[in-house]
Structure formats: structure tokens, C-alpha cells
């Protein structure tokens, strides 16, 4: 098992040893668990919260976790020395020019929010109780400072799927009220995309959308990439899109419902490959069902640079018109599919390496690319290293400013004031 790092080969012997020990330990009780990418996100009350899962291994796991806590690497992102040992040179590299950054992919977990993993979609994903990061507003502010020039985080809570559908409206209200209060307390540091209960209950979803915009003055809303077996282009979701389009809403699309007991490989967390594929599938669904073009006033942000869609758009636009030629009404043309793809906005969360940037900056509108980190759900050493990679990537000043903050200001009205 390795960290989710930019360059796994840069792991120090100390880093490899700790990760190996913890992964081996977890594997004894849960062969399919992938804990390495979430080291340090263990509940501080680990023994009570997940003793049923870890059993007699709890003391050893706590001891191993303590080695990370001694360096304070996950809870104080400014602990550079240990970060550089585990990640490599990118972790220590400071941007040559400090620029404002608006993080459009930045999560939060209110401390008083209770998760019940005895039922619901995460019931069979046993490690979930220990994967939730410890979060606080001050931790986010510390992270923003550490990431280099970052000035504001647009908070989002994409975990409503972890709650039974009949409780999601209540949880959404609680989460959104918290985010609105935090934004009001520190409007220059925080904004928020409001959580929306399941779209399977359109009345509740529309009610919370209305409340979030009219009363809480949300900067946008979060939609999951899929609800049950329905992606976001499904006709049953048309009333939701109609309301959002009427409001010219920012719609942040986040994957995450693809948790399952059977994983690709014990080392490959669903967040590594399943989540990007989920985003790609919902984007194609929205393109082919005309959701994007019909609701063109919406500013739809696809997480993680659009998943795998930038890489697959040529394949999709070339094949769909032929594979679906027998279907009525006829499919869109290759040109139309490509044009609709460019109507989305893409954030760079976990996606700021040259592999991604080379393609995006060559083929995608620069005024639709946004900065994002995925803090705190992705390990801070990884996200900080990726922020450093973005800072050091060669681009002109105008493009950098567009990605770092100008594009976000263009689509979020409050930021233009």
C-alpha cells in the first residue's frame, strides 16, 4: 500500500514502513480495506468508534497513528519536514509568486454531525467510520495558507448519500445552516455550495434549493453524480434542473456513491478510479439527454477535471453517433457532443499534474477551469504537493489568474462585489 501521492517513488523508508505496517494491520481484519490514503483521518476516539472493526488491533493501530500525530502532519499542514520525507520535493516547494486562490472543491464535516453506519449505503463499507477527517474552520484556514496564496474556500458537503433518504432533508438543513453561519462570520474566507437531499424526493430537494438560495444566500448547490441508478440527465430530474436554470445557479457535481464491498484491487480505493468514471458517466448522460444545453444558464462544475471525460471525449464523440444511429430520436453529432462538453466547468482537484494540464489547456476553454483541492477528504500531503505542482506548471500570468480566481469570480456573483 502506498500514499496517494504524486510520485510514489519518492516515499522515504520511514514513510514506506509506516504505511506498510498500518496497511498490513488493517488487512488482517479487513482484507479489502484501503486505509493508506486516509492515514491520519482516524477518529480521535478510535477505540469507541470502530473497535468492532479493528478488534484487538486497536492498540497497535493507535500506536502507529501516533507516529504521524507526533509530526502533526495531517492536522497541521505546516509541518513541512515530515511532509517532505513522505512526499518529496514538491511538498516543500513554495510558489514563486503568491496569488489569490479560490478553492471551489473544499469539503467540510461539522463536528456535531452524527453518522450512523449501522444502515444506509455505507453500511457494508466498514472502514467508513474511520475515514471521516477531523475538520474545523481553523484547519481549513491553515490549509489554505499552506497551499500557497489561497484566499477563500467554497465549502461543500457531498456525503448526504451516507444517510437514509428519509433523513436527508433534515441533515441538509443542519449542514447548510452551519455553512451559512460560517460564511457570515468570515465572508472573505468561506463560501458554500448547499447540500440537497436526494433527487428521488423532488419536493424536498426543491424546498431546500429554494431555502438555500433565498434565505441562506448560498453560492451554489451540490448534486451527486448519480442517485440510485439514475445519472443527472435522467428525465425525472428535469424539474430540478428547470429551477436551477431559472436561478442561473452554480451546480457543483460530485461523485461518491460508488462504494461497494467488491473493489478493483485491495490497493485501489473507489476514489482512485470509480469516482472519476462516475463523473464521466453522468456528464455523458447530461450531454446526450440535452440537460447541459437545455439548462445553459446553469454553471455546472464537474469535479476532478471532469473525471476521465477530457481523455475520452474524442472517443465518445466519434463512436456515439454510429453506435446509437438506430435510436430515435437520433443521437447528437460528434461536433455537438464536443461542443456540449465545453459547456461544463472543470475543477482541478487532484488533477493538477502535467498529464492533465497539458491536455486541458490545449483542448478546453481556459475560462472554464477552476482551482480545487479536495481538502480534507484527500490526504493533505498529496493535495499540497499537487498545489505545488500547479504553481510550478508553466503558463502565462493571465491563464494562471483565470484558473486561480478570476473564473470563480465570474460564475459566483457574490465574489464580484
Q: Output the domain CATH number for residue 110.
A: 3.20.20.140
Question: Which residue range is the domain that position 116 belongs to?
Answer: 89-416
Q: How far apart are CA 265 and CA 263, in angstroms?
A: 5
pLDDT of 22 > 90? The answer is no
Q: Is residue 260 part of a domain?
A: yes
Assigned C-alpha cell, 198: 436526494
pLDDT > 50? residue 54: no
Query: Which residues does 167 contact at the CB level (< 8 Å), separation at least 6?
Result: none
Instruction: State the Cα–Cα distance between residues 235 and 83, nearest whole angstrom.
Output: 47
Mean pLDDT of 55-66: 49
Range with the lowest mean pLDDT among 193-202, 266-275, 364-373?
266-275
Q: Worst-scoring range by mean pLDDT, 11-15, 76-80, 234-238?
A: 76-80
State whether residue 135 is helix, strand or coil: coil
Average pLDDT over residues 149-165: 88
Question: Looking at the predicted structure, is the pLDDT value of residue 128 above 60?
Answer: no
Residue 182 in any domain: the answer is yes
Per-residue cell: 165? 433518504
Instruction: Tell me if 85 sits within 8 A of 95, measured CB to CB.
Output: no
How many structural domains does the chain have?
A: 1
Provide, rounded to the nearest whole percent, the portion of the chain with pLDDT above 70.
70
pLDDT of residue 112: 81
> What are the phi and psi torsion angles at 326 (to 5°)?
-85, -5
Write out the three cell numbers for 382.
498529496
pTM equals: 0.79
Least confident of 23-37, 149-163, 271-285, 314-328: 23-37
Sequence-separated (6 or more) residues with CB below 8 Å from residue 336: none
Each residue's pLDDT tens digit, 365-405: 999 999 999 999 888 878 888 998 999 999 999 999 999 99
Q: What is the pLDDT of residues 372-381, one digit of tens each?
A: 999 998 888 7
Which is more confident, 84 or 338?
Answer: 338
What confidence tier does 186 reach under pLDDT thresholds 50, 70, 90? very high
Mean pLDDT of 34-40: 34
Q: What is the pLDDT of residue 202?
A: 97
**DSSP strand pairing (226-227 vs 220-224):** unpaired
Q: Is residue 42 part of a domain?
A: no
Assess if residue 83 is contained within a domain: no
The answer to whether residue 33 scores a pLDDT higher than 60 is no
pLDDT at 57: 46
pLDDT tens digits for range 289-330? 999 999 999 999 999 999 999 999 999 999 999 999 999 999
Confirm if 167 and 197 have CB atoms less than 8 A apart.
no
Q: H-helix or E-strand containing 81?
A: helix 80-87
* 21 pLDDT tier (thresholds 50, 70, 90): low
How confident is the model over 338-342, as a mean pLDDT? 98
Average pLDDT over residues 113-133: 58
Classify residue 211: in a domain, yes or no: yes
On the CB side of 18, how many CA atoms lie within 13 Å of its CA? 22
- pLDDT interval class at 36 (50, 70, 90): very low
Q: Is the pLDDT of residue 48 over 50?
A: no
Residue 4 — pLDDT band, cuts 50, 70, 90? very low
Strands 226-227 and 230-231: antiparallel
C-alpha cell of residue 332: 447528437
Separation of first and last alpha carbons in the chain: 47
The better pLDDT of the pair 145, 115 is held by: 145
Is residue 35 one of the residues assigned to a domain? no
When the pLDDT of each residue in the chain is averaged and rounded to a whole number, the result is 80
pLDDT at 43 (0 to 100): 34
Other CB atoms closer than 10 Å to residue 9's CB: what's the count? 7
For 399, the grid coordinates are: 491563464
Amino acid at each position: 500500500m502506498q500514499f496517494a501521492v504524486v510520485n510514489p517513488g519518492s516515499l522515504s523508508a520511514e514513510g514506506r514502513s509506516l504505511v506498510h505496517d498500518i496497511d498490513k494491520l488493517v488487512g488482517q481484519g479487513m482484507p479489502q480495506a484501503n486505509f493508506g490514503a486516509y492515514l491520519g483521518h482516524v477518529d480521535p476516539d478510535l477505540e469507541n468508534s470502530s473497535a468492532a472493526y479493528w478488534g484487538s488491533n486497536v492498540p497497535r493501530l493507535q500506536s502507529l497513528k501516533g507516529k504521524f500525530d507526533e509530526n502533526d502532519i495531517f492536522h497541521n499542514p505546516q509541518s513541512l519536514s515530515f511532509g517532505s520525507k513522505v512526499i518529496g520535493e514538491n511538498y516543500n516547494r513554495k510558489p514563486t509568486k503568491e496569488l489569490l486562490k479560490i478553492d471551489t472543491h473544499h469539503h467540510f464535516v461539522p463536528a456535531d454531525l452524527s453518522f450512523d453506519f449501522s444502515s444506509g449505503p455505507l453500511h457494508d463499507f466498514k472502514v467508513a467510520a474511520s475515514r471521516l477527517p477531523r475538520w474545523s474552520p481553523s484547519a481549513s484556514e491553515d490549509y489554505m495558507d499552506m497551499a500557497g496564496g489561497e484566499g477563500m474556500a467554497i465549502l461543500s458537503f457531498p456525503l448526504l448519500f451516507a444517510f437514509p433518504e428519509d433523513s436527508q432533508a433534515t441533515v441538509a438543513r443542519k449542514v447548510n445552516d452551519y455553512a451559512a453561519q460560517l460564511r457570515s462570520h468570515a465572508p472573505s474566507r468561506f463560501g458554500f455550495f448547499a447540500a440537497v437531499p436526494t433527487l428521488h424526493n423532488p419536493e424536498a430537494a426543491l424546498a431546500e434549493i429554494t431555502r438555500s438560495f433565498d434565505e441562506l444566500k448560498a453560492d451554489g448547490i451540490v448534486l451527486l453524480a448519480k442517485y440510485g441508478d439514475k445519472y443527472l440527465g435522467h428525465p425525472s430530474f428535469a424539474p430540478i434542473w428547470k429551477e436551477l436554470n431559472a436561478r442561473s445557479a452554480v451546480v457543483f457535481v460530485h461523485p461518491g456513491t460508488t462504494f461497494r464491498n467488491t473493489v478493483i484491487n485491495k490497493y485501489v480505493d473507489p476514489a482512485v478510479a470509480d469516482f472519476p468514471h462516475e463523473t464521466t458517466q453522468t456528464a455523458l448522460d447530461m450531454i446526450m439527454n440535452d440537460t447541459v444545453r437545455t439548462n445553459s444558464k446553469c454553471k455546472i462544475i464537474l469535479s476532478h477535471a471532469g473525471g476521465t471525460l477530457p481523455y475520452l471525449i474524442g472517443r465518445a464523440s466519434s463512436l456515439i453517433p454510429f453506435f446509437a444511429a438506430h435510436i430515435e430520436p437520433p443521437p447528437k453529432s460528434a461536433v455537438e457532443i464536443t461542443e456540449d462538453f465545453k459547456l461544463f466547468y472543470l475543477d482541478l482537484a487532484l488533477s493538477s499534474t502535467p498529464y492533465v494540464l497539458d491536455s486541458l489547456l490545449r483542448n478546453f476553454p481556459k475560462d472554464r477551469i477552476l482551482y480545487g483541492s479536495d481538502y480534507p477528504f484527500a490526504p493533505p500531503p498529496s493535495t499540497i504537493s499537487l498545489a505545488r505542482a500547479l504553481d510550478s506548471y508553466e503558463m502565462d500570468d493571465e491563464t494562471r489568474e483565470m484558473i486561480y480566481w478570476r473564473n470563480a469570480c465570474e460564475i459566483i456573483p457574490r465574489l464580484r462585489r
